[in-house]
Structure 1
Amino acid sequence: MWLNDMDDLSQYTQYLGQDLYVKIDRPKGSNHPRLDFIYETNYGFLPGTKAGDGHEIDVWVLEQETPLSEFNGTCVAVIVRKDDDENKLVVANRRLSKERILEETKFVEGYYDTEVILLPETD
């Protein structure tokens, strides 16, 4: 049984394909505030939203080589954490494969039982 049910997933999947503004509070190369690891990619949140933990919805910003403080891009996927109470959006400038998303986020998401929901293909 997932901690997230399908009704809760719509809170995240509604953003698939949308252009989003992301505020980055943990830039690539920064230390996690409590745990012993360095962010290998930019990580932030979607201002004005609320996730399962009571904070804004978290966002991985992928395929950016430099640390950022903000980013505008397209929501290309949702990382569903089956064993946690919140999920993560994935924002980038282009579509990415599940394998690429998992590779770029494995330093954190590798500790969770996850599934990646990709932006559906269009004709």
Structure 2
Amino acid sequence: MAAPMIIGLHVQVVIDRPLGSIHPEHPTIQYPVNYGYVPGIIGGDGERQDVYVFDMNEPVKQMTGFVIGIIHRRNDSEDKWIVTPKFRLITVDEIRRRTHFQEKYFDDEIWLLN
């Protein structure tokens, strides 16, 4: 399946799990990236669209950036967007490495801008 047209979209992200924070329900999961959501966009699970933020090396409360990839979970109802402050090309290997802390529990495929 081809990447949806959402890739390249400029979005505002609210960070509710900043870099270094612990997952609220799973205390063994620590976030090595900022993680949040896009206000006003509803994901497949009926909740706000979740986002991993790359290329920010300190905890932040919000940011504006570009959707550069999507993790499509085959065995879950929601996708995760990959957002960076500046648009750039990214590899599947980089996304897998940086999101493995949480995505290792899911069967997924990664969509990138071709």
How many residues are treated as equivalent by the alignment? Answer: 111
Structure 1 position 51, deviation (Å): 1.3
Partner of 1:58: 50
Residue 22 of structure 1 is aligned with which of 1, 8, 13? Answer: 13
1:35 and 2:29 correspond: no
Distance in 2 (alpha carbons) for counterparts of 1:35 and 1:110 = 14
1:89 and 2:81 correspond: yes
Partner of 1:68: 60
Runs of 4+ with deviation above 3 angstroms: none
Q: Cα RMSD (Å) of the superposition?
A: 1.6
Unaligned ranges ≥5, structure 2: none
Structure 1 position 119, deviation (Å): 1.5
Partner of 1:3: none
SS of the residue corresponding to residue 35 of structure 1 reads coil
Distance in 2 (alpha carbons) for counterparts of 1:22 and 1:14 = 18
Distance in 2 (alpha carbons) for counterparts of 1:49 and 1:20 = 10
Distance in 1 (alpha carbons) for counterparts of 2:76 and 2:37 = 17
Unaligned ranges ≥5, structure 1: 1-5
TM-score by length of 2: 0.90
SS of the residue corresponding to residue 101 of structure 1 reads helix
Letter in 2 for 1:29: G
Residue 115 of structure 1 is aligned with which of 106, 109, 114? Answer: 109
Structure 1 position 77, deviation (Å): 0.5
Letter in 1 for 2:17: R
TM-score by length of 1: 0.84
Please identify which structure carries the higher strand content.
2
SS of the residue corresponding to residue 103 of structure 1 reads helix
